[in-house]
Amino acid sequence: MMRLYHRDHAGRPIRVAWVLEELGEPYEVVMMTREESKGEEHRARHPLGRVPVLEDEQGFVFESAAICLHLADLHPDAGLAPAPGTHERALVYQWTIFAPAELEPPLIESAVHAHSDPERSAAARRRFDEAAQAVSGALDGSDYLVGGRFTVADVLVASTLAFTERIGFADELPANLRDYLARLMQRPARRRALERVTSG
């Protein structure tokens, strides 16, 4: 059975749990304290002591986007990623990487500096808004980002956009992103994943 290493209040492991739930793949959630995650045992799994880390019989994989793409590859019949070598597969790579590279950093920066450095926070928010508009344009009337069907790209993008709810400006997203986020947050697999990583 696969093991998903997680830590209290960490947001990224839910992405991996969500994909595992979509696949119906059994897995164990291993909860750690912050101190445990910084210890030698976990640093053997992730050199920076971070989460998520996925363990299977072949070893460890870290970085949520990489883990989710790997899981989709293990179960091609589930359709969470189009066939390798296709343009749609390239778009799944594109949006799966766009989420942690372009959406997440300015979103976190804006939240972290909201009170201590409002000017920096506002500049980061403008970068996030620009990236969010790119996602809004890519949806262009579709329910999903790639090929009109749910893929790993939607897991990464929606789970990143969900952070706007925690910091209080989800209502300021473009209308189609609000609808997209609300719809994906209600997927049964996502709800099961949230329960698993919350309860451990």
Which whole number is the average pLDDT over 107-120?
A: 95
Which whole number is the average pLDDT over 180-191?
A: 97
What average pLDDT does the chain have?
A: 95
From-to residues of CATH 3.40.30.10 in the chain: 2-77+189-199
From-to residues of CATH 1.20.1050.10 in the chain: 87-186
pLDDT for 140: 87
Fold classified for 87-186: Glutathione S-transferase Yfyf (Class Pi); Chain A, domain 2 (1.20.1050)
Which whole number is the average pLDDT over 112-139?
A: 97
| pLDDT bucket at 8, cuts 50 / 70 / 90 | confident
Distance CA 64, CA 99 (A): 11
| pLDDT bucket at 69, cuts 50 / 70 / 90 | very high
DSSP E strand stretches across the chain: 2-7, 27-32, 53-56, 59-62
Which whole number is the average pLDDT over 136-162?
A: 96
pLDDT for 130: 98
| pLDDT bucket at 200, cuts 50 / 70 / 90 | low
Q: On the CB side of 89, how many CA atoms lie within 13 Å of its CA?
A: 10
Lowest-pLDDT range of 123-132, 165-174, 186-195: 165-174
Residues 6+ apart with CB under 8 A from 170: 161, 164, 178, 181
Q: Which CATH superfamily is domain 2-77+189-199 in?
A: Glutaredoxin (3.40.30.10)
Distance CA 5, CA 33 (A): 11
Given a contact cutoff of 8 angstroms between Cβ atoms, the answer to whether 110 and 62 are in contact is: no
pLDDT for 9: 77
Residue 87 has pLDDT above 60, yes or no: yes
Token duo for residue 62: 């870290």
Q: What is the pLDDT of residues 51-68, one digit of tens each?
A: 999 999 999 999 999 999
| pLDDT bucket at 10, cuts 50 / 70 / 90 | confident
Distance CA 167, CA 114 (A): 10
| 186: phi then psi, degrees, rounded to nearest 5 | -95, 0
| pLDDT bucket at 133, cuts 50 / 70 / 90 | very high
Residue 198 has pLDDT above 70, yes or no: yes
